[in-house]
Chain A
Amino acid sequence: MKAPFLTIAIALVFGAPAQAERLIATLSTSRVLISSNFTGTDVVLFGSVERDAQTVARRGGYDIVITVTGPRDDVLTFRKERLFGIWVNADSRTFIKAPSYLTVLSNRTITDIADINTLRRTQTGLARILLPQEISGDIADSIRDDPFRQAFLRLKVENHLFRETQNGVTFLTPALFRAAIPIPDNAPTGNYDIDVKLFADGTLLARQQTALEIVKVGFEQFVASAARDYGLLYGLGTALMALLTGWFASVVFRRD
């Protein structure tokens, strides 16, 4: 906890507002397009730590943690229990506005970057994100070792939607870094928030936000929006397609 005081002290002494590091981040693309041949992709983030003459030297070097959060949604997690000899969904928890996608990339083990309190306060790392739960009408953050929370995180990791990569950020020079944000094939469409955090000597120095959009395009977009907005017409169209296919087959394969 020394470093922030030091920074503030230096700021007070020199009176200059721009002595701390600034973060600059840019993406290889801000729109990921899902077309019929989409099988997942990587979005590359480039970033740079800006310093000026007054910036103090950091002995331990810089650490970067990038958190990418997909569209939020209420999510039900069911637990199966044995009932009359068969396994049924019995107990359930609703996670309120849980991210559908979450990737945490860092240049080294997150717990080495800062102490656990700083990490918790800044919600850094997969294990420390806020996952509010609705319990009998009240909304409260779930405790870390709650089995539903653990199961939710585990299943999301298995589905490639959540991940934590401890060597996902590479420093090209002491101030320039790059990271590849993996977008799996099952990534939901919508807006993705990207939060880049700069740490040095266990302290959060700067943050930079940017965003990414995943959209369906062309045929995929047409079908999805037709199904959602014109359900009845879409259904009639699909039914007609089925009848035409059936009729066509009976004509093609006619034997008499």
Chain B
Amino acid sequence: MQIYLPIAELPVNILLVLVMGLAVGFISGMFGIGGGFLMTPLLIFIGINPAVAVASVASHVAASSFSGAINYWRRRALDPSLALMLLAGGLIGTTAGVWLFTLLRKLGQLDLTISLSYLILLCTVGGMMMVESVRAILRARGGRPAEIRRPGSHMWIHGLPLKMRFKVSKIYVSVIPIWVIGFIIGFIGAIMGIGGGFLLVPALIYLVRVPTGVVIGTSMVLTLVTMTYATVIHAATNHLVDALLALILMVGGVIGAQFGARTGQRFSGEQLRLLLGILVMMVGLRFAFDLVVHPAELFTVRSVEAQQ
């Protein structure tokens, strides 16, 4: 069943897009991430203009993270004051990201930037997650207890000024690294069309030492707000958000996420992180392959008018 997308200006199979939404939603529910890093490449793969894909996925991620955030809020598994501090940086980062996005489109280097950022980010994060989770699994096998938070291990981050007490997370830490993390996530999220959950979760756990219990819920709040905001400014500045495409994706996404969350509970934290690491790595390598291998078609054509 074909449906014509008004902004992407091409017909797509509605069932195919729905299934893509379901599949990505399943993965996002299972790992507690937005799933934008999978959805954007998939949309580009089925022929949707990368810029339209990035802008439309933002609203899809907003929908799935909102349903996730509500669930975590009901269980009080999120830290509102930490989320608020992350947001302060996140919104500035998103604005800067959309600005750079517009600039890069004018220069004709948007596709390359998207591919390169995916490659670097996904391979690095995927690799780190794989190594860390394999270590954790081996430690658990060896019978030694998993080291989550060593009391004396203070990093330079903990010496920064402007300290603040986050009651729910039970941490006392400077707000500077939190602002910086929020800014970076918002910035790359706007450029790459991802919520950044797969980056934010490890950053909060390893750098700021936020307890694992509240980290996913808190990260979802940040994702929710930055992606909602990104939707609005992408629509206002680039006019590239395809509401129809977004609607099909989010309906599939929120349903898939529910089943994913149930499946996810059957695995341990380490196993989930290893699976997610492999997944992230695979997507990254796919981008590397496209950049390094001699392309079959050296030329690309695009309208100048649509770039503004």
Interface residue ranges, A against B (CB under 8 Å): 34-39, 73-81, 85-89, 92, 94, 100, 148, 151-152, 154-156, 185-186, 188, 216, 219-221, 223-224, 227-228, 231-232, 234-239, 241-243, 245-250, 253, 256
Contact between A227 and B235 (Cβ–Cβ < 8 Å)? yes
List residues of chain B with CB within 8 A of the CB of A223.
Answer: 6-7, 243-244
B155 at interface, CB cutoff 8 A: no
Q: In whole angstroms, how far apart are the Cα atoms of A88 and B301 in the complex? A: 14
Q: Are B301 and A185 in contact (CB under 8 A)?
A: no
Which A residues touch B10, using CB under 8 A?
A: 185-186
- Neighbouring A residues of B11 by C-beta, 8 Å: 38-39, 185
Query: With A76-B108, A243-B62, A247-B70 given, is the CB distance from A238 to B241 under 8 Å?
Result: yes
Establish whether residues A235 and B112, one from each chain, have CB atoms under 8 Å apart when the complex forms: no
The one of A88, A155, A231, A256 in contact with B74, judged by C-beta atoms closer than 8 angstroms, is A256
Number of interface residues of B (CB under 8 A): 60
Known: A155-B300, A253-B258. 19 other contacts (CB 8 A): A74-B303, A74-B305, A75-B301, A76-B303, A76-B304, A80-B298, A85-B292, A148-B299, A231-B236, A231-B239, A232-B235, A235-B232, A236-B232, A238-B243, A239-B231, A246-B68, A248-B254, A253-B67, A256-B74
B-chain residues with CB within 8 Å of residue A79 when the two chains form the complex: 298-299
- B232's partner among A188, A220, A239 (CB-CB below 8 A) is A239
A234 touching B235, Cβ below 8 Å: yes
Return the contact of B235 from the options A39, A238, A249, A250 (Cβ within 8 A): A238
30 CB contacts below 8 A, A to B, read: A38-B4, A39-B11, A73-B303, A76-B301, A78-B108, A80-B300, A81-B298, A89-B109, A89-B111, A89-B300, A152-B301, A154-B299, A155-B297, A186-B9, A223-B243, A227-B241, A231-B235, A235-B236, A235-B241, A238-B241, A239-B59, A242-B60, A242-B228, A243-B63, A245-B247, A246-B63, A246-B68, A249-B67, A249-B255, A256-B74
Q: Which of A36, A238, A242 has the most CB of B within 10 A?
A: A242
A246, B4: Cβ atoms under 8 Å?
Answer: no
- Inter-subunit contact B292/A227 (CB<8 Å): no
Give bound CA distance, A155 to B295, whole Å: 14
Given contacts A100-B303, A235-B232, A243-B63, contact A249 B243 (CB under 8 A): no
Q: How far is the CA of A232 from the CA of B234 in the complex (A)?
A: 9
A92 and B246 CA atoms in complex are apart in Å by 32
Instruction: Give complex CA distance A114, B206 in Å.
Output: 75
Identify which of A227, A239, A256 contacts B62 (C-beta below 8 A): A239
Beta-carbon contact of A234 and B243 below 8 Å:
yes
Contacts of B7 in A (CB 8 A): 223-224, 227
**Cβ A250 vs Cβ B239 within 8 A:** no
How far apart sit A231 and B235, CA to CA, in the bound complex (Å)? Answer: 5
Interface assignment of B200: CB less than 8 Å from any CB of chain A: no
Q: B231: shortest Cβ distance to chain A, in Å? A: 5
Most chain A CB inside 10 Å of its own CB: which residue of B10, B74, B291, B299: B299
Say if the beta carbon of B2 comes within 8 Å of chain A. Answer: yes
Cα distance, A77 to B303, chains bound together (Å):
9
- Interface residue? B205 (CB, 8 A): no
B126 to chain A, nearest CB (A): 19
Chain A, Cβ-Cβ closest to B8:
A186
What is the CB-to-nearest-CB distance from A15 to chain B, in angstroms, rounded to a whole number? Answer: 51
B63 pairs with A245, CB closer than 8 A: yes
Q: Is the CB of A246 within 8 A of B235?
A: no
Q: Is the CB of B6 within 8 A of A220?
A: yes
> Across the interface, which residues of B come within 8 angstroms of A231, CB to CB?
235-237, 239
B10 nearest CB across to chain A (Å): 5
Chain A residue nearest in CB terms to B247:
A241
Q: How far is the CA of A83 from the CA of B207 in the complex (A)?
A: 35
A148 to B: closest C-beta gap in Å: 7
Q: A36 vs B247: C-alpha distance in the bound complex, in angstroms?
A: 14
User: Which residues of B have CB within 8 Å of A242?
Assistant: 59-60, 62-63, 66, 228, 231, 246, 250
Q: Which residue of B lies closest to A35 (CB)?
A: B4
Please pick, from B112, B239, B246, B304, the residue contacting A241 in the complex, using a CB distance under 8 A: B246
Indicate whether B251 reaches chain A with its CB closer than 8 angstroms: yes
Q: Contact mask B3-42 → A, CB, 8 Å, 1/0?
A: 1101101110000000000000000000000000000000
